[in-house]
Structure 1
């Protein structure tokens, strides 16, 4: 296995939605690569346990409360995390909700639609804005937005989530052009269906659809996605921006 222990040495990174699942896997891999990492999440007790476990391994991490539906919470989290980190070199916009899974379009009510958009789209936008001054000061800032492969193939019965992740892809491209003059790269990682706590609701048939349709026909796990995030945060990708990297075993190829 490639030694990545120094890939992000000295970097300061904020990961949202980092208490568990993919976010925790990202935060762990980033810290193992030498970075100082702020983990943010609304699941305070779970976050505290995850942070304690990482600290127990000697990793330089701290947890911060975050409600992505609350603009004031986003501002407070960004300020506190940046203060503890002493600046900011990388932002991983991972926090998101699904909520519309298993429902056709006509069964998604306005409140559900708005809640998904408030967290996944508005929240990602506001967190990015709150972090931009520190990222611009870095000189090698990197933003990694967690999209999804669902808008790349048009996953059914998940419309609010699919639309929100399509918006994240669009924001990634636009922000890449806006922030290029500040030496900030902005890329999106689009995982396929990954086995984590947040996808426990997904029926077995959908997992089988993915597995049968992948070039690499096996279950996708968090470690399959961490490499793409590390790449997008590191100097290996300093001339890569505005891109969407589909990490799904070849279920979608673009």
Structure 2
């Protein structure tokens, strides 16, 4: 397993002072983004519905001398999204980058015919509509930055068609499609829009996943070891740097070779 204290060296310094907002940053993969960004010298405002966990993470990083703030954010509520982005931009004096990480699963373990309409709608409200509204709410700030960058966190489940997870898979497929379209729309404002598709990563949110699914991933990877959050932070942070200013509309699977382009 990788050392969680390691900071991607290509991003360190390159992201110093960069103003970044992160959704779903209180735990798991989102918390890894917040930690690594902060230790790279970025200014970070992150949001989540998990208020206690978010406040605890912010306190810890502030105590270490990092410029970090937590704000409550509910992607199912459009007014919460707008308030979050405005408050984050006000605190930092603008926004240079957005990581759309927050998502819910809810439909795991059920066949397509067993998913309740209310469950489907909840997943789409957060994962699809929430991602769309975060992008549009941040657009003017990212444009004014002159180096705006968006990274949408998708999933490799949408690339290989994971069964008994339809609502989540469909939502992440939509995120990938939106990334292509938004890249063309936002390109006129100089904003890059890319997506990362992680594989099954060992975080709190995947603790419910059956052991056989973890084994299925492990055996199918070209790099046969568990995937940890630090495997994803480097590629994501690279896409926020000036080195990636001519990369947009792209999808990068980060899954140890489980799915290959």
TM value normalised by structure 1: 0.98
* 1:5, distance to aligned residue in structure 2 (A): 2.7
Matched, 1:246 2:253: yes
* 1:21-60 aligned within 5 A: 21-60=28-67
* 2:210 pairs with 1:203: yes
Query: Quick one: which of 71, 75, 89 aligns to 2:96?
Result: 89
Of 212, 216, 219, which aligns to 2:226?
219
Q: CA RMSD in A?
A: 0.9
Distance of 1:188 and 1:175 partners within structure 2 = 11
Structure 1 residue 166 displacement after superposition = 0.1
2:132 aligns to what?
A: 125
TM-score, structure 2 normalization: 0.96
Match of 1:144 in 2: 151
Runs of at least 5 residues in structure 2 that lack an aligned partner in the other structure: 1-5
Displacement after TM superposition at 1:34 (Å): 1.4
Query: Which residue pairs with 1:153 in the alignment?
Result: 160
Unaligned runs of 5+ in 1: none
Q: Give the Cα–Cα distance (whole angstroms) in 2 for the partners of residues 56 and 206 of structure 1.
A: 38
SS of the equivalent of 1:179 reads: helix
Following superposition, which runs of at least 4 residues in structure 1 exceed 6 angstroms of deviation?
A: none
